[in-house]
Amino acid sequence: MPRETFENLKEEKKQRILSAALHEIAENGYDKASVTRIVKEAHIATGSFYQYFEDMEDLFIYIALEAGRLKARYMQQALSESAGRDLESVIRAMYLGGMRFGLEHEDYYKCAESLLRMKDSELYHKMIAMAEKSDLAAWLFQVVGEAIANGELNKNITPELFFKLLTGINATIIEYLIDRKAGGGMDTTDLETLCELGVQIVLHGISAT
Amino acid sequence: MPRETFENLKEEKKQRILSAALHEIAENGYDKASVTRIVKEAHIATGSFYQYFEDMEDLFIYIALEAGRLKARYMQQALSESAGRDLESVIRAMYLGGMRFGLEHEDYYKCAESLLRMKDSELYHKMIAMAEKSDLAAWLFQVVGEAIANGELNKNITPELFFKLLTGINATIIEYLIDRKAGGGMDTTDLETLCELGVQIVLHGISAT
DNA sequence: CTATAATATGAATGTGAATTCATATTCACT
DNA sequence: AGTGAATATGAATTCACATTCATATTATAG
């Protein structure tokens, strides 16, 4: 968690630092992000950085938690727009939330991705723990448990593998989406279409439905 | 490509260096791998390393190419065991080959993964180019093209997204597999079962078949 | 056995980046 | 304005490497 001094900063400066950090980490990933470049881009002195954060790790934690909170809001929003609480609806909400978040906060998304790749760091475990405590996870757990009990799912799927596949497929689609956006060819209908595609692939695979 | 001196080394020493490098890169990834640690683990002098390789990048290239060749062999083997050349058979062969490779050469697999994450490096592009020239890729391309033309696939899938999903799902399952192996609970039937699960998920999603 | 080339070695050098620290500036309050 | 606390600054320090180099050892051939 950042020091008091950071919280006390004028909003403008705070944002300047935050977006420089976000940009740097999104671009270079967790391991190669450099304090030197961040302070240069934010137009603050090197020493000031350590006035605000213990060290690099401290900054990472701040950004990771922020990303987590932000994404959670998108998830809740999507879930509140959703009609049912059946497996398909919950997956759809999760995908829609995730995709909107990734598209509208590309930097946060990339930072989170990069952090989730560092499977050994404490930070990774903190983020996983946080995600597992969310309402969405609770719902998913319950709904998947029921679906498995009812024999609705392929009998070899474990809940653990299910989650990995679910998030993996979502990540694949979000990255595809981000690339498409960078390439220029994107309109709003694409998001809905791709989201539905993701849901259908999870449920019914790549075959024509 | 390594220097002559490396090729001239006694097989035992060559393997010692190679496996130290493999281990180091698998453990710490492309960016954080350290020459110092490699030479320590391989019991050679720092200077010797530069007798064998131009620099770190040179070593990476060597390992990446080696991993590519090794994986290609697994793919060919799986494909040669396979009956048909239809979409399902080709996907199954690809998954089986990938999973055996990942399981039997965890370090090579992890190195390749880490390299494929560095989307900007030249090495990344070299590896992609290499993969795209393979027989398997050619088959997949043709078979997917036909399936799309025949309306067998979900109409929103593009070949590009198809490949991302295919490799993404495979990677998810391989990682699940590696984790399981590390945890101890693994026998040979698991591989076949999980491979089939992967194929069914790609084709028909998570629903009971 | 000698001479020459090839290989091995690890201390020395150079680099880039994180972190600290002594000093300067600004702020908040009287 | 005056005073102490909070904040800002960037040069100095450390550190962990990669890479080089002068020297030592080993292999090869005559």
Reported as a single tens digit per residue, the pLDDT across A25-37 is 999 988 899 999 9
Residue A39 near residue A48, CB atoms below 8 Å: yes
Q: What is the pLDDT of residue B108?
A: 97
CB contact under 8 A, A206 and B168: no
On the question of pLDDT at A189 being above 70, the answer is: no
Q: What is the pLDDT of residue B43?
A: 97
Q: What is the pLDDT of residue B104?
A: 95
Rg of chain A over Cα atoms, rounded to whole angstroms, equals: 19
Q: At B188, is the pLDDT very low, low, confident or very high (cuts 50, 70, 90)?
A: low
Count how many pairs of residues, chain A against chain B, have C-beta atoms within 8 Å. 101
- Could you give the CA distance from residue A95 to residue A9 in angstroms, rounded to a whole number? 36
For residue B167, give how far its alpha carbon lies from the nearest alpha carbon of chain A (Å).
Answer: 10
Q: At B7, is the pLDDT very low, low, confident or very high (cuts 50, 70, 90)?
A: very high
Q: Any atom of strand C under 7 A from CB of B193?
A: no
On the question of pLDDT at A121 being above 80, the answer is: no
Could you read off the pLDDT of B115-154 as tens digits, one per residue?
Answer: 888 877 777 888 888 888 888 888 888 888 899 889 999 8
Range A65-89 average pLDDT: 92
CA A108 to C1' C24, in angstroms, rounded, equals 36
On the question of pLDDT at B203 being above 80, the answer is: yes
pLDDT over 70, % of chain B: 98
Q: What is the pLDDT of residue A166?
A: 93
* Among A186-190, B56-60, B108-112, the least confident range: A186-190
Q: What is the pLDDT of residue B138?
A: 85
Q: Which nucleotides of D are covered by protein (CB under 7 A)?
A: 6-12, 16-22
- Which of B130, B128, B145, B155 shows the shortest CA–CA distance to B90? B145
On the question of pLDDT at A81 being above 90, the answer is: yes
CA A202 to C1' C11, in angstroms, rounded, equals 59
Q: Any atom of strand D under 7 A from CB of A47?
A: yes
Distances (CA, A) of A49 to A60, A64, A120, A121: 13, 18, 26, 22
Q: What predicted TM-score, i.e. pTM, was given to this entire model?
A: 0.91
Residue B75 near residue B97, CB atoms below 8 Å: yes
Q: B88-101 burial, b for 16+ CB within 10 Å, e for fewer?
A: ebbbbbbbbbbbbb
Q: What is the pLDDT of residue B181?
A: 87
For residue B152, give how far its alpha carbon lies from the nearest alpha carbon of chain A (Å).
Answer: 5
Q: What is the pLDDT of residue B68?
A: 92
On the question of pLDDT at B99 being above 90, the answer is: yes
What single DSSP character describes residue B153? B
User: What residues of B are in the A interface, CB distance below 8 Å?
Assistant: 29, 31-32, 117, 151-157, 160-162, 164-165, 168-169, 171-173, 175-176, 193-194, 196-197, 200-209
Range B178-204 average pLDDT: 85
What single DSSP character describes residue A136? H
Give A73's Cβ-side CA count (13 Å radius). Answer: 9
Could you read off the pLDDT of B70-95 as tens digits, one per residue?
Answer: 999 999 999 999 988 889 999 999 99
Q: What is the pLDDT of residue A188?
A: 63
- Could you give the CA distance from residue B209 to residue A153 in angstroms, rounded to a whole number? 8
Question: Which position has the higher pLDDT, B129 or B11?
Answer: B11
Average pLDDT, chain B: 91
Tokens 């984790």 — which residue? B179
What single DSSP character describes residue A1? -
Q: At B189, is the pLDDT very low, low, confident or very high (cuts 50, 70, 90)?
A: low
CA A8 to C1' C28, in angstroms, rounded, equals 14
Q: What is the pLDDT of residue B164?
A: 92
Choose, out of A154, A206, A207, the residue to mutate when testing the contact with B (most B CBs < 10 Å).
A206
For residue A8, give how far its alpha carbon lies from the nearest alpha carbon of chain B (Å).
Answer: 35
Q: What is the pLDDT of residue A41?
A: 95
* Among A37-46, B15-24, B174-183, the least confident range: B174-183
Q: What is the pLDDT of residue B30?
A: 86
